[in-house]
Structure 1
Amino acid sequence: MSSGYHSSRLVQDARRDVVWKALWRHHFRHQIRPDDTVLDLGCGYGEFINNVVARRRIGLDQWAGSADHLAPGVESVVAPVTDLGAIADGSIDFAFASNLFEHIPQEAFARVLEQLRGKLAKGGTLNILQPNYRYAYAEYFDDYTHVAIYSHVSLADFLAANGFEVIDLRPRFLPLTVKSRLPVSPTLIGLYLAMPFKPLGKQMLVRARPRD
């Protein structure tokens, strides 16, 4: 993303850090072990990776300004997500991408997946959080940088077509954005994640691993 995108569409918002602290507490800490190496693809302001507790944390983004927002101890890699050359083969236990793959063409997404297959350690996973077009179609193109469309069905199929096995699929994991009048509260986020039905859920969460 260009610096203009971060000063217009994706300005820094303290509410996002509240959300990610709660997501770490209520969800991701149960999937990431203390001795894991975690890679945040398109880490942006670092709200996810800064809240992770792990042996090694890496934030990758083509936006050079991202490095200024990463917490002490988080390694910064300035590169497009299609270039994972700085990441050692077989080193990543938990790769994460939030609101990323709708911003790049399918050909680029396929290149990311091809590289990730070699970067993931044995048992390593790719975890994707992004808008689910089936439920977010009305707002999907409010973001002028969205170039690809995925529902939970098409994303799972695309991963399968590119050598990954989906092991967890949650079509309605979170509401679409913090840009609303709804309060952003850690307690409410925890309650929402525990709900069996999520009527406001417009973001999906997909967890996948390389297929043998």
Structure 2
Amino acid sequence: MDDVLKEALRVLKPNGRYVAMQRNIHYEPGKYWDYYDRVLPLSHLSCKEAFEKAGFMVEELIPKFVPFSTSSRLPQWPILVRLYLAFPPIWNLLGGQFVLIARKIAND
């Protein structure tokens, strides 16, 4: 992860943004490992720390944003997705992935 963040910081223009979304081990520790690509356990807090350590300024961190997985019996109609995104209080009930928005600090 450190190499990815270092390279992103290098190629971003000053004030450029990096948006990351990731399953959050903090809220779904058992389910987190059910996916083959889970190698590094990340929570919203550990990811924030990594971005700051790399030299980014974290502008926004939403610990629970979208459901943990798109695998669901619930319909995923566009209108339902729009309604979900427009109603942040439900994110705390159904969210399992975090969103982090970080900015490359401009050098004066």
| Same amino acid, percent of matched pairs | 36
CA offset at residue 145 of structure 1? Answer: 2.6
Counterpart of 2:104? 210
Contact 2:14-2:104 at 8 Å conserved across structures: no
Runs of 5+ unmatched residues, structure 1: 1-108
Paired residue for 1:145? Answer: 37
Distance between the aligned counterparts of 2:88 and 2:18, measured in 1? 24
TM-score, scaled relative to structure 1: 0.47
| Unaligned stretches of 5+ residues in structure 2 | none
Q: 1:134 aligns with which of 19, 26, 41?
A: 26
Q: Is it true that 1:195 corresponds to 2:50 in the alignment?
A: no
Task: Write the mapping of 1:18-167 to structure 2, written as runs, cut at 5 A.
Answer: 109-167=1-59
- TM-score w.r.t. length of structure 2: 0.88
CA deviation profile, 1:111-139 (whole Å, cap 9, x unmatched): 11111112111221110011011112121
**CA deviation map 1:45-75 (0-9, x unaligned):** xxxxxxxxxxxxxxxxxxxxxxxxxxxxxxx
* Segments ≥4 residues shifted beyond 6 Å: none
Contact 2:13 2:104 survives alignment (8 Å): no
1:112 partner amino acid? V
Q: Which has the higher contact order (CA 8 A, sep 6+)?
A: 2
Give the count of matched residue pairs: 104
In structure 1, distance between residues paired with 2:36 and 2:54: 27
- The 2-side partners of 1:210 and 1:196 are apart by 27
- Structure ID, larger Rg: 1
Letter in 2 for 1:115: E
Cα RMSD of the aligned pairs, angstroms, is 1.3
Q: Secondary structure at the match of 2:47?
A: helix
